[in-house]
A and B are shown apart, each in its own frame.
Chain A
Amino acid sequence: MSDLESQYAARMNLTVFEPLKLERSWTLATYRSIGGYEVWERLLKEKPPREQVIDAVKASGLRGRGGAGFPTGLKWSFMPRASPVQKYLVCNSDESEPGTCHDRDILRYNPHSVIEGLAIAGYATNSTVAYNYIRGEFLGEPVPRFEAALAEAYAAGLLGKNVLGSGIDFDLHTFVGAGAYICGEETGLLESLEGKPGKPRFKPPFPANFGVYGAPTTINNTLSFASVPTILRKGPAWFASLGPANSGGTLIYSVSGHVERPRNIELPLGIPFADLLGLCGGVRGGRKLKAVIPGGVSVPVVPGEIMLKTNMDYDSVKAAGSALGTGAAIVMDETTCMVRVLERISRFYMAESCGQCTPCREGTGWMNRMLKRVLAGQARREELTLLLDVANRIEGHTICAFGDASAWPVQSFLKHYRHEFEYMIDHGGRSLASDTLGARAA
């Protein structure tokens, strides 16, 4: 065990990954052994005021782990709890943000935390039906694991009608998507859940007022729901104290790219990125760190030297010019050609645009085609200004945040690495990274 490993050992896997140290962590028995479902049973028995649960989540500082970082407790409080209509909960397991893979491991290794989290949220928001929308690509392992856990929970009487004689109903259904990135956008997900093409809705109205089937709906990320049982078991203050102000608790960091050991690690928010990198064995082959996309490809890229001085919490990453997003750090070493990376990212956005609103439908393809010409050495320098202008014209003009997400990489890559684009244009499509590093880059 390295120094870093031992230094962080006590702070690792405190929340959702807690049962990972045990055999068959995904079973009900294992989950029970760490105190699983105690909170849910207590709520069913004592029936505290719903506000009390919401206030506890608020106090924990838990923020939405799907990328936007909206305070979870606050979101729950928007639900018209007293309204007599059917209310729904939706868990967003349509994890498709490139670089992000924590939901997958939660569903594989601790599915009961999601179930209990949803049940607790159901109590807090007075919702009796929940859906877990899981991305289609998870059919292999995560979906069966979750389904098996769901069956266990039903068999144990923890879900269903009149749960444990409490008079409280809570039903949870699994829904498997068909592999569209845009269905991870909350209203696109709701449309998809209703059986329609996944095209995000314009807001307002927000899901809390007009969600699935037009009914009040709370929708959160898998990690957000999965964190709730531990928060209530160990106390909101404990959770909040793990991270810095404004960034309470732990996060499962997905570290990928040019590191020795790509991995998911659950650690408190606010740890230095340098330590996170170290925990993953550092940059592969001992190369120099060039750049990091700290929260999934939808957030701006940050040069390595800035990132090495940045802590992994909402405010620090924001100050570094990016966003914590999903906490998925994509690490790039000095051999990386930033033009190629951006072209790949822009191709992703072109392919995944739902197409309903104009700037994104037309603009994502335009950006990608320009970048392809840059790569082919068929662009002019002025076109970089045009490329940036197209990105600026998409940003803030679309129905959902997808447009912004497609624009930010372009803006940030051009901000930090414009010289690489210019080099390529001037040199007929040759990459600055390979030219300077020569054989090493190959």
Chain B
Amino acid sequence: MADDQVNIEVDGAPVKARKGEMIIRATDRAGVYVPRFCYHEKLSIAANCRMCLVEVEKAPKPLPACATPVAEGMKVFTKSPRAIGAQRATMEFLLINHPLDCPICDQGGECELQDLAVGFGRDVSRYHEGKRSVPDENLGPLIATDMTRCIHCTRCIRFTEEIAGIQELGMIGRGEHMKVRTYIETTVNHELSGNVIDLCPVGALVSKPYRFSARAWEMNAVPLVSPHDPVGTNLFGHVLRGRLMRVVPRENEAINETWIADRDRFSYEGIYSPDRLTTALLRRGASWAESDWESALGEAAAGLRARAGDLGVLVSPSCTLEELYLAARIARGLGTQNVDHRLRQRDFRDQQADPVFPGLGMALADVEALDSLLVIGANLRREVPILAHRLRKAALRGAQVAMLNPARFPHLFPVRAQLTSAPADLVGDLAAVLAAAAAATGKSVPPQLASAVGEARVTDAHRAATQALLSGERRAVWLGALAARHASFADLRALAAALAQLTGATLGRLAEGGNAAGAYLAGAIPHRLAGARAAARPGLTARDMLQRPLRAYLLLGGLEPSIDALDPESLRMLAKAELVVAVTPFASEEAKRIARVLLPMGTFAETSGTYVNCEGLWQSHPGAAAPVGEARPGWKVLRVLGNLLGLEGFDYQSSEDVLREVREACAGVKPAGYQGSHAVPRAADAIDGAARQPLVDVPMYQTDAVVRRAPSLQKTREGRTAAVTY
């Protein structure tokens, strides 16, 4: 027997338990259910609900299984008359002031109190006094409250304090008058706050957008993958008669644990936006004519074929791998390499050195084990909320985190060193950090960076950042979305790579959208084909395509260039094109301004497909909801378009056929990292005007077309925030 094991007995059967763990952990593992409300694996122990009282031999009173450590030879009885008596007693107390309004409660059918009341409650109440009623809280547009139902388990409070990292909910009053609420009347604003809806064992905290719209038992749960950020959060879509009613977490310890961001939870509302494109539209002069699929696709195919020599294909990084692959195939089938998903990137100088796909270079779960990290140009809580939570765990464990950002973003963990620099100074500051690292380690920087590093002015702040990075063994350097939007991204990356090399850190990149890694692997970039094979002659980058009018464009995935490419000017360019075919879920104002053909496409929840996350994990999901109106999954639209264009090999029967082809193309591809020899110029020689180019921090709920149309998210504080330009 291992040293850290003890033998206990649960209801007469021997059970092995880990030394010092609580009884409930051992019973859970042994498959013995002990009823509970306040206990939650991911939260601290409160032991306040008293539902998990069990009998322990020699103990004078029943003990809470959630807060009683096991001991060698301990005999636990979970179903003895004493244990059951204590549990029934607790249940009676919980129910006396509970409104028992299950028929009008959203939690009905998936309520822990309701479930356990069946087992431990009595049929008739013995309570004849008046019941307590509690005024409701307005916690904002996402969480609806019915505080009379609250059983004071404090899971929500512990969540905000321990997981979210900012205590937005608390307990005031005492005794019967104890209330869960925000201390002063305010909304709950944390980007993970929606998780309290799942945590609440009763119907006190429920989803405001979903409220009163369906019953748990009449919906089908379909697995989904979040398309909004490169984490690849696992979701369940709850579908009623083809309509996605709500989204809840799908537990995956390796990716998102049990949490999801509010963006993942409430974005589904955008699917049913009023400007949803439900039928193909063709421009006829100044107006739009509805069209059947056949003629619309015919017009699109003929128009694209006629302008194949001067065509650009722009795709959203939130599309599925299959859609991205087919879009790239269509571009190349028409003889052009002009295909790109990097719409917000500005600097492509050393794109040849790109890694096989942008990613962390490590598993998400390993982020928790990092000892030190330098984050360059990333507003983590906005870009990747779930990853920010992982990082918070690392930082609370003692990891030294340094930030190099255009502003001090409100992180909810200790940041050892904060370097704040204007976009124009970002390269210089990173060069200074590299110079400090070179000095501290006694190693030299690569020659092509020598002049930039040589002129860097190293201050204590740079040294502090270096010191943070050099502490500990497991180190990483991350480039975020802000870095990628920077006019000198190539310089930043070259310096970051050298810094990583010098310090033995893993270089990681947090790309935009849920499938940038997939876009790279599928060849939705102008310089590489599927499977990371170099294109013989690289095509135009997204930037180039948007800065000159080509004759024709194919846009995929609900693109709105002014925000998706952060360039209102690009709208004017696109409007000058002879033909823009937009395959899009939404008849957006921008699409209508520039396109001649609008083809309705299913959103992420209405198509089967695959997402590759930032650790390189391929995750496929089936289609959950029925596409709205005449809309069809993107891969189907592109397949028919390919057929009409007369391209070879577009006879896929399913998205799995497409996926198989991408897999074959990617077979044997090694996830090589950045291999650049990009020379960072001296400040004086920097690209003309680069320093003056604005750097835009896109708000969390502006990331992609679906999120932008989710009304509840837009009503939140973050949703009402304008983009900040540095």
A358→B94 contact, CB < 8 A: yes
B151→A365 contact, CB < 8 A: no
B94→A397 contact, CB < 8 A: no
Known: A202-B47, A357-B48, A359-B93. Is A396-B62 also a contact (CB below 8 A)? yes
**Count of inter-chain pairs, beta carbons less than 8 A:** 94
B174→A355 contact, CB < 8 A: yes
A358→B129 contact, CB < 8 A: no
Contacts of B154 in A (CB 8 A): 356
A397→B53 contact, CB < 8 A: yes
Q: Is the C-beta of A399 less than 8 angstroms from some C-beta in chain B?
A: yes
Q: Tell me, in angstroms, the Cα distance from A398 to B86 when the chains sit together.
A: 10
B129→A356 contact, CB < 8 A: no
Q: Tell me, in angstroms, the Cα distance from A58 to B207 when the chains sit together.
A: 59
Contacts of B69 in A (CB 8 A): 204
B97→A362 contact, CB < 8 A: yes
Q: Is the C-beta of A197 less than 8 angstroms from some C-beta in chain B?
A: yes
Q: Is the C-beta of B175 less than 8 angstroms from some C-beta in chain A?
A: yes
Binary flags per residue of A13-40, CB closer than 8 Å to B gives 1, else 0: 0000000000000000000000000000
Q: Is the C-beta of A366 less than 8 angstroms from some C-beta in chain B?
A: yes
Contact of B90 among A350, A351, A397 (CB under 8 A): A397
Contact of B174 among A354, A363, A373 (CB under 8 A): A354
Q: Is the C-beta of A50 less than 8 angstroms from some C-beta in chain B?
A: no
- The size class of the interface chain A forms with chain B is 20 to 34
Known: A202-B47, A397-B61, A399-B48. Is A355-B173 also a contact (CB below 8 A)? yes
Contact of A353 among B61, B130, B151, B174 (CB under 8 A): B174
Q: Is the C-beta of B89 less than 8 angstroms from some C-beta in chain A?
A: yes
Known: A204-B69, A369-B129, A397-B53. Is A197-B174 also a contact (CB below 8 A)? yes
Q: Is the C-beta of A370 less than 8 angstroms from some C-beta in chain B?
A: yes
Q: Is the C-beta of A180 less than 8 angstroms from some C-beta in chain B?
A: yes
Q: Tell me, in angstroms, the Cα distance from A182 to B173 when the chains sit together.
A: 13
Contact of B178 among A356, A359, A369, A386 (CB under 8 A): A356
Contact of A180 among B46, B48, B60, B174 (CB under 8 A): B174
Contact of B152 among A358, A363, A370 (CB under 8 A): A358
Contacts of B171 in A (CB 8 A): 197, 355-356
Q: Is the C-beta of B692 less than 8 angstroms from some C-beta in chain A?
A: no
Known: A356-B48, A369-B129. Is A396-B61 also a contact (CB below 8 A)? yes
Q: Is the C-beta of A104 less than 8 angstroms from some C-beta in chain B?
A: no
* Chain A, interface SS category: helix
Chain A residues 370 to 425 lying within 8 A of chain B, measured CB to CB, are 370, 373, 386, 393-394, 396-399
Q: Is the C-beta of A361 less than 8 angstroms from some C-beta in chain B?
A: yes
Known: A357-B48, A366-B127. Is A393-B176 also a contact (CB below 8 A)? no
Contact of A358 among B45, B49, B175 (CB under 8 A): B49
Q: How far is the CB of B72 from chain A (nearest CB, A)?
A: 16
Closest B residue by C-beta to A353: B175
Binary flags per residue of B161-187, CB closer than 8 Å to A gives 1, else 0: 000000000010111111000000000
Chain B residues 375 to 430 lying within 8 A of chain A, measured CB to CB, are none
Q: Tell me, in angstroms, the Cα distance from A161 to B64 when the chains sit together.
A: 43
Contacts of A41 in B (CB 8 A): none
Contacts of B90 in A (CB 8 A): 358-359, 397
Q: Tell me, in angstroms, the Cα distance from A182 to B726 when the chains sit together.
A: 53
Q: Tell me, in angstroms, the Cα distance from A351 to B175 when the chains sit together.
A: 7
Known: A204-B69, A359-B90, A362-B96. Is A352-B48 also a contact (CB below 8 A)? no
Contacts of A364 in B (CB 8 A): 175-176
Q: Tell me, in angstroms, the Cα distance from A366 to B126 when the chains sit together.
A: 10
Chain B residues 37 to 53 lying within 8 A of chain A, measured CB to CB, are 45-51, 53
A355→B62 contact, CB < 8 A: no
Binary flags per residue of B100-132, CB closer than 8 Å to A gives 1, else 0: 000000000000000000000000001101100
Of the A-B pairs whose beta carbons lie under 8 Å apart in the complex, a sample of 30, sorted by A's number, is: A350-B175, A351-B175, A353-B176, A354-B174, A354-B178, A355-B171, A355-B175, A355-B177, A356-B48, A356-B178, A357-B49, A358-B48, A358-B50, A358-B151, A361-B93, A361-B152, A362-B93, A362-B96, A362-B97, A365-B129, A365-B176, A369-B129, A370-B129, A373-B129, A393-B89, A394-B89, A396-B62, A396-B86, A397-B86, A397-B90
A353-B175, A358-B152 known, 6 other contacts, Cβ within 8 Å:
A357-B47, A364-B176, A366-B96, A369-B129, A373-B129, A399-B50
